[in-house]
Amino acid sequence: MDGFINFMEKYFIPPASKIAAQRHLVAIRDAFIVTMPLMILGSLAILINNLPIPMYQTFMNNTFGEELWKSFGGNVWNGTFGILSVLIAFMVAYNLTKHYGKDGVAAGVVSVASFFALGGATGMASNGLFIALLVGLISAEIFSRLVGNEKLIVKMPEGVPPAVAKSFAALFPAMITISIFGLITTIFLAFGVKDLVASFYELVQQPFMGLANSLPSAMLLAFITPFLWFFGLHGANMVEPLMQTINLPAIEANQAAIKAGEVAPYIVNKPFFDSFVNLGGTGATLGLIIAIFLFGRRNKAYKIVTNLSTAPGIFNINEPMMFGLPIVLNPLMFIPFILTPVVLVTVAYLATSSGLVPAATVMPPWVTPPIIGGFLATQSVAGGVLAAVNLLISVVIYAPFVKIAEIQELKREKEVA
């Protein structure tokens, strides 16, 4: 195990660290982090509208009228999920351009305009997410290079307010950037593509979501994040750009299918992982905390760290365990930390695909405690039961390794004494 860790430290961590710091991936990741509160709000609004309790639905319909009281959730959706692609187009361009030391706000505005020039009016919700990401990245690259060109600067006379001069300095770069995307739309129209966003969604985004919706891909995602974390790399942040491109369209497709009385088409999304796999954080470390309480109380070092980590762990914050126990670069914890998420994702996937548990259609806040999160994500008691079963499985997997660690610690203490 030591040889493996040395090998990974030498050959894997350096390139992985470079990938984690890659400016385009960072720009995408930070954009989704900023919009996360809106996603949670939109999910909660949908939950309020569709809470599967007949008495609740009947009471609200009789008291306020179905159209009136459900308009609240619809209005909130319009202000969150309904404009998500527009927000992502702005934030990706803003973050990337700020990385270059240029005017991020101007770049964000240009990106939004470019998105609509490309036909974004038909893809303002999550169906335009891929296009919005591409537009944000490409427009930022074009704009940031043009905005520093002296030949494109409109020089204003002295005495003009700085804000006005700054906006005119970006005039020609903005015009050129937006015009490029407008020209692209015209070219595609010449080839018979009337709605570029819808065509891209059908040809690229939907097949990609279907590919990522398989059990092997879910297992791969469950493996990658803890594997990176074991070596001190923030696996969740590195995988987040990929997860978000799958996540929101899948949630919306599930919601639409269930509303139409059909089977939800997508199993794999962010609430699926948050509610059934990342119990207590990456690696399902709440199971490790419980295992230490049950089987490792004589290990004084583990006991101290666990006492301090329990409260955060209940709310899926596991950095105290990652670096305090530690799990990072701890050879004993490598196997259960990697194995547990893979087992849990398999159990959850099979339970969902077999119809025992409904697909996740609501995205609770990521700090929602396990079991409660499973109930909210699926709007079903079965979701809470599945989360409880997976939590028990995680305890069982961690238990032998906790016991081994306790035996090793007792031997060490005896030798010291």
3-state secondary structure of 14: helix
348 touches 268 (CB < 8 A): no
> What's the whole-number mean pLDDT along residues 53-65?
82
Number of C-beta neighbours around residue 79 at 10 A: 12
Q: Sign of dihedral through CA atoms 337, 349, 375, 386?
A: negative
pLDDT above 60 (res 39): yes
3-state secondary structure of 370: coil
Domain limits of the chain? 20-207, 216-416
Alpha-carbon separation of residue 212 from 127, 170, 408 (angstroms): 16, 40, 41
Give me the percent of the chain exceeding a pLDDT of 90: 27
Provide the greatest CA pair distance for the chain. Answer: 83
> What's the whole-number mean pLDDT along residues 268-283?
90
Task: Specify the DSSP element, H or E, that contains 166.
Answer: helix 162-169
**Rg, Å, the chain Cα set:** 25
pLDDT above 60 (res 8): no
What integer pLDDT is reported at residue 156 of this predicted model?
A: 63
Q: How confident is the model at residue 398 (pLDDT cuts 50, 70, 90)?
A: very high
Q: How confident is the model at residue 287 (pLDDT cuts 50, 70, 90)?
A: very high
pLDDT above 90 (res 138): yes
Side chain identity at residue 394, one-letter code: S
> What's the whole-number mean pLDDT along residues 297-302?
82
pLDDT above 60 (res 235): yes
Dist CA 382 CA 378 (whole Å): 8
* 308-337 per-position pLDDT tens digit: 888 888 888 887 888 788 887 788 888 899
Dist CA 218 CA 273 (whole Å): 9
Q: How confident is the model at residue 51 (pLDDT cuts 50, 70, 90)?
A: low
Question: If DSSP states are collapsed to H, E and C, what string results for 354-412?
Answer: CCCCCCCCCCCCCCCCCCHHHHHHHCCHHHHHHHHHHHHHHHHHHHHHHHHHHHHHHHH
pLDDT above 60 (res 4): no
> What's the whole-number mean pLDDT along residues 389-407?
92
Evaluate if pTM is beyond 0.75: no
Which of 112-121, 229-238, 247-256, 293-302 shows the highest mean pLDDT? 112-121
Which region among 102-116, 238-252, 267-281 has the lowest average model confidence (pLDDT)? 238-252
What is the b/e burial string over 359-395, where b = at least 16 CB atoms within 10 angstroms of the residue's CB? bbbbbbbbebbbbebbbbbbbbebbbbbbebbbebbb
Helices (H), 231-359: 235-259, 270-276, 285-295, 300-314, 319-324, 331-353
> What's the whole-number mean pLDDT along residues 63-86?
85
Q: How confident is the model at residue 208 (pLDDT cuts 50, 70, 90)?
A: low
Helices (H), 118-158: 129-146
286 touches 314 (CB < 8 A): yes
3-state secondary structure of 330: coil
- Return the residue matching tokens 């109930």: 375
Dist CA 145 CA 140 (whole Å): 8
- Return the residue matching tokens 């009337």: 194
Q: Count H helices and E strands in the chain, helices first.
A: 21, 0
What is the b/e burial string over 138-160, where b = at least 16 CB atoms within 10 angstroms of the residue's CB? bbbbbbbebbeeeebbeeeeeee
Q: Which residue has the higher pLDDT, 107 or 73?
A: 107
Q: Which residue has the higher pLDDT, 116 or 42?
A: 116
